[in-house]
A and B are shown apart, each in its own frame.
Chain A
Amino acid sequence: MTNQAESTNFVPTLKAEIAGGIMPLTPGQLVWRRFRKHRMALVGAIGIIAIVVFIIAGSIIVPEDAANQGDLRNRMIGPTAAHIFGTDSTGRDVFNRIIYGGQISLIIGVLAVLLEVSIGTIVGGTAAFYGGWVDAVLMRFTEAMLSIPSLFLLIVLAKFLGHDIPTIKILGRSFSGSVGIVIIVIGLTAWMYLARIVRSTMLSLREMDYISAAKSLGASDVRIFFSHLVPNTLGIIVVSSTLGLASAILTEAYVSFLGLGVQPPTATWGNMMEQAQSFMSQGAWWLWVFPSLFIVLVILSVNLMGDGLRDAFDPHSTRHM
């Protein structure tokens, strides 16, 4: 909340308005109202919820062994009643692998975005806050990282981190340590755009009248940073992290497709595609069609939601009201 001394003067008028039946909306309510009116964004949100429910419910019904252990007598069968998405070259059920692969792909996406947002906000915020040579150095570093084609940087970094990989046990399930490496690699190669956006937003906010007002009231730099600059940049951070989630899931698919990502038997949608590639010419279409469809569905939903959020957070947007 704002400074007590600042806000006391406004309280009587606000109370009068509420008494008169005009309820002022909080910024959060405004955003929600605009988002709700955005039909495609709601479709996206429903798509995401549906996939998350599918993955969680699926893993309750289907045991993990059914996804990772194959039945060698039933290799390379196309979709049938018993295996609705068919089986792969070691007789593993593609449908079950999509459930467990989806968990890993989505977890990687979410954690990579969290890492990316933290790095981007810290770098961008520090550059904007300190200015001068700190800003110059950080922004040149950001530009340097942006000048390397992202997949090249990703490969170099994945090779750098992927020496010897331990297996991690969480919640009684064991994950290949490569999951952690993929998260770090994606997070470390995707923060640059966000850092730039955060920096430029904060720089333009700093010139606003209400910041000078806060300064003349004697607010400290730290206070201005945390109670004015950060909350006002939050909308942009939320929007770009939503869109970042789509590209993180896509990047995981690319990295695993190249064989640098999560190692089998742990399934991800990306490494299922890698295995499918070798059986392409044999016409085993079910190996790549189903994982790809799920990738497209998730990314489409996330992008639609991101677009809706962008319009919802934009105070100038009145299109959907």
Chain B
Amino acid sequence: MWTYISRRLIQALFILLIITGVCFLLTHFSADPMSQYANKQGMTAADRAAIAHSLGLDQPLPVQYVKWLWLALHGNLGDSFFSRQPVLTLIEQRLPLTVILMSTSEVFIIIISLILGTVSAVKQYSALDNIITSFSFIGYSMPIFFIAFGLMQIFAVQFKAWGLPYLPTGADIWDPKNIGALARHMVLPVTCLVIIQVAGYSRFLRSSILEVLSLDYIRTARAKGLSARTMLFKHALRNATLPFITIIGLDIPFLLGGALVTESIFAWPGMGRLFWEYAQRGDFPVVNGVLLLTGSAVVFFTIIVDVLYTFVDPRIRLS
């Protein structure tokens, strides 16, 4: 067990080195942060060289990378080129809002998928199952902006036109510290995320419950006269939800990166928007900081999920 964990940790460091290396290389050549100073009045070539020097851009790339990595190991991700704020401060401002959005969605996603998946597996090929399956198939094939625009058109544009109480689109200015405003602005993005995710998860859950229900031990449970309810909740669901828990566990670290498209449609000031805003301007310290953070979350979470899995499922032995 311990040799397994330590081997995985060493691999994780190697993976993080690849992630940061690739990202550093790509971001470095993707945009020129000096371009914003190119046409500024009263700025000479010497001034520009001085700025490039103060940002450390005049050094060779490998030197920049090693310096950045060394500082990152000490908990310093550098400063943004444009706002000159430390990257960690920017992330600290945005992370709570992404966590609020994502954890609220995730709670609904898990509850609704569990209900829909179980119902459609137990009532396989019934009218209800066909409806749920069709909807999840359609939902699974939808780009999130379709749902987002549809909800916005109905609940924001039309409701406003009809004089009903309407939901905000995110185009207005609001204070995230005001709980009421926060909740009102959260309704539509959360609904979008829930619809998209439930579609995939409930399909997955349905097939894993069906697989378990066809196993011999379920037949045994039935044969010894257990009620359908006991058999389902005590025997079938416990095993069928194992792979479901795993995929949720593996998806959670990705949530830290936020939902880029949803956040930008609804102007939600979370991590996805932070990344998008700064990536567009070629602000690599912020881009690399966000990538390092989400990358590490994903890599270490995978190890934790794998190790925890051996406690939940005694059939698995790590080697």
Contacts and interface: CB of A to CB of B under 8 A. Distances in A.
A281 B267 CA distance: 14
Contacts of A258: 260-261, 264, 276
Contacts of A160: 26-27, 29-30
A295 B143 contact: yes
Contacts of B97: none
B286 to A, nearest CB: 12
Interface stretch (B54-62, B184-192, B292-300, B310-318): B292-300
B276 A303 contact: no
Contacts of A145: 22
A145 to B, nearest CB: 8
A128 interface: no
B294 A246 contact: no
A257 interface: yes
Contact of B145 (A156, A273, A283): A273
Interface string A135-170: 000001101111111011001110110000000000
B282 interface: yes
The A interface is mostly helix, strand or loop, or mixed, namely helix
Interface string B17-41: 0110011001101110000000000
Nearest to A147: B298
Interface in B132-170: 137-138, 140-143, 145-146, 149, 152-153, 156-158, 161, 169
Interface string B268-311: 00000001100100100001001100110011001000000000
A272 to B, nearest CB: 11
A278 B193 CA distance: 22
A30 to B, nearest CB: 23
5 contacts: A152-B260, A156-B27, A258-B276, A292-B142, A292-B149
Interface of B: 11, 14-16, 18-19, 22-23, 26-27, 29-31, 137-138, 140-143, 145-146, 149, 152-153, 156-158, 161, 169, 171, 254, 257, 260-261, 264-265, 275-276, 279, 282, 287, 290-291, 294-295, 298-299, 302
